[in-house]
A and B are shown apart, each in its own frame.
Chain A
Amino acid sequence: MTATDEPKAPGLLDGKFSPTRPLAASGNLFAFALDVIRSLPKRPFQVREFLQQAWFVASVTIIPTALVAIPFGAVIALQLGSLTRQLGAQSFTGSASVLAVLREASPIVTALLIAGAGGSAICADLGARKIRDEIDAMEVLGIDPIQRLVVPRVLASMLVAVLLNGLVSVVGVAGGYFFNVVLQGGTPGAYLASFSALAQVEDFWSGEIKALIFGLIAGIVASYKGLRAGGGPKGVGDAVNQSVVITFLLLFAVNFVITAIYFQLVPPKGQ
């Protein structure tokens, strides 16, 4: 053993404030995402696990999503109700409300719920398995946890995100209708008739594509953090916390990027 191989004494900070640390962390996350994508086509596909996880993620997100979507739609309806009156464009209330819900509100609500409820549940589940050595045991039994556990979870969260986005759209539009027509005295016919004045089908598809990508990111970040949990039960708590925060940050940033691209690709109606 040469002198350079001698184990170094632990330093004061031991690399904790190294400027390359965040880079390494994002690199690891990205590498993990690539591993997941590479494992996607591997057979046998875990149909059972996928269905179980889809049901599981749906069951922890559907009710909160619906409950969040109602006030969200209502707030948009209230804001637009007074705004359109100020501008003298009451006839566009319905259309503007649909536009706001489809384009922004429903992907954002989906993002919040898929990260906050779905992602945290996935992360906690995998983290608990990790600290109980279940993941190690699985690897030792010759089974790749990414293929067996992560891929079905990521696909399940993508599927559920797309479905949730549809749910939020419906509930949000219905909530907007209720608040505009019943509480603000708008005319039902005008509200419904103006639906397609500004909004178009592409708005719905953009929301669904956003949701699909949000589901992918939430699933990958939650699995990544869960599989790297360590240091006992506290480690799992920390992992869940970090997974939710990281997913939020990523989702809002990605949401911005996709919206910007969308406006470049799809011209708004009436131009």
Chain B
Amino acid sequence: MGVAVEVEGLTKSFGSQNIWSDVTLTLPPGEISVLLGPSGTGKSVFLKSLVGLLKPEKGSIVIKDTDIVRTSEHQLYEIRKLFGVLFQDGALFGSMNLFDNIAFPLREHTKKSESEVRSIVLEKMDMVGLQGAEGKLPGEISGGMRKRAGLARALVLDPEIILFDEPDSGLDPVRVAYLNQLIVDLNAQIDATFLIVTHDIGTARTVPDNLGLLFRRNLVMFGPREQLLTSQEPVVRQFLNGRREGPIGMSEEKDVAQVEAEMAALEARGGDTHNGVGPKGASGGDAVPPQLTPTEGLPERKAERRRQERVARMLHDFDEETQRAIRASLPEDLLAQADAGAFTPTRGSGGRHWAAEPDAGPSASTATVVLPRPGGEG
């Protein structure tokens, strides 16, 4: 099972320019999370902070009881072995062919014999559909192949956390669909924690378990996919619908009066549902489409049941729209328990929706705690 990444109060600036401040979220173990945000809101900076390439000024990132922000350089290199990172352009070593690129981490970190290395590399290449391209140089192949090769390289050390920096950029929609399916299949096979940074709304709507949105130097929202997909927050709705009307401007934020005028005009046209289809997979309305499932024949995603239990625990924290969407995704037994109030509320929510303690599971049916309804959610 993948490991959880707990981010608390993270703040990063370059010189006097603040990138984002007070970002708090938890990537639940083994689940797929997507982080959205307008260009230039520091999503890539966030990814680089997670792997310790950049040092935030404040806050903590805790992985397996180690705070990455404050740990020693030596510890950092150890922790990084848990990570697989897919960079935007694959970040393959230009001087090596694909085979050597993918074999690189194995040769550097393990004492495996060349034949073992070969079999692992070929297996991973097969996994991402790159059979027969071992001898090619990164300069000789297409962007999509570079991405998949980068993914194969990220996978060889059996990482427990995989980060994707815009896996869809520069790919056609069909290849994006294949890549998304690949991501879900991988998750089912290795049960690692995934974080995808993307602009592609189609991906954000169908792939992840959890969604987050960065805007105006803050994490606007992070939670189960249903929470963002049904959210009435103007920024979230604007982003998910890919429209100009809303608080996000071309270069900076707009002033309030202009936003209000735009929103009124939008409502007059019939709102998002009549707004047609937006770019990058953005569609009208706030429907919650079904999540992608692993390809037939693969094992079920172990994270699925874990997530259902987790979401059921905090079902009553959400507003009605979100609850309805979540209810539609939960199995009978969990629904019954949630409605019976069998779950104790997740302690200290507020972005953090993952209970570290495995106790108070479904077996604790005798406890009937009435859940408080925090008003600040949604």
Contact = CB atoms under 8 A, between A and B. Distances in A.
Contacts, number: 71
A140 B16 contact: no
A142 B78 contact: yes
**What are the 3 A-B residue pairs with the smallest beta carbon separation, nearest first?**
A7-B18, A133-B91, A137-B91
A10 B80 contact: no
A144 B77 contact: yes
Interface string A121-161: 00000001100111011111111100010000000000000
A128 B109 CA distance: 25
B377 to A, nearest CB: 22
Contacts of B48: 136
A10 B93 contact: no
Contacts of B51: 139-140
Interface residues of B, number: 31
A148 B108 CA distance: 10
Interface stretch (B34-42, B81-89, B166-174): B81-89
A133 B91 CA distance: 5
Contacts of A148: 108
B108 A143 contact: yes
Interface string B74-113: 0001101101010111011110000000001100110000
9 contacts: A8-B16, A11-B16, A128-B94, A129-B93, A133-B88, A134-B91, A137-B87, A137-B92, A139-B51
Interface in A1-34: 1, 7-11, 14-15
Given A133-B88, A134-B93, A140-B83, 10 more contacts: A7-B13, A7-B16, A14-B16, A132-B91, A133-B89, A134-B94, A137-B85, A140-B80, A141-B80, A141-B153
B22 A1 contact: yes
Contacts of A141: 80, 104-105, 108-109, 153, 157
Contacts of B108: 141-143, 148
B49 interface: no
Interface of B: 13, 15-18, 21-22, 48, 51, 53, 77-78, 80-81, 83, 85, 87-89, 91-94, 104-105, 108-109, 150, 153, 157, 217
Contacts of B105: 141-143
Contacts of A132: 89, 91, 94
A139 B73 CA distance: 11
Q: Which of B51, B80, B91 has the most CB of A within 10 A?
A: B91
Interface in A145-187: 148
Contacts of B78: 142
Contacts of A14: 15-16
B93 A139 contact: no
Contact of A15 (B15, B53, B87): B15
A102 B303 CA distance: 72
Contact of A139 (B22, B80, B153): B80
A143 B157 CA distance: 13
A21 B22 CA distance: 30
B77 A142 contact: yes
A261 to B, nearest CB: 36
Contacts of A139: 51, 53, 80
Q: Which of B18, B83, B153 has the most CB of A within 10 A?
A: B18
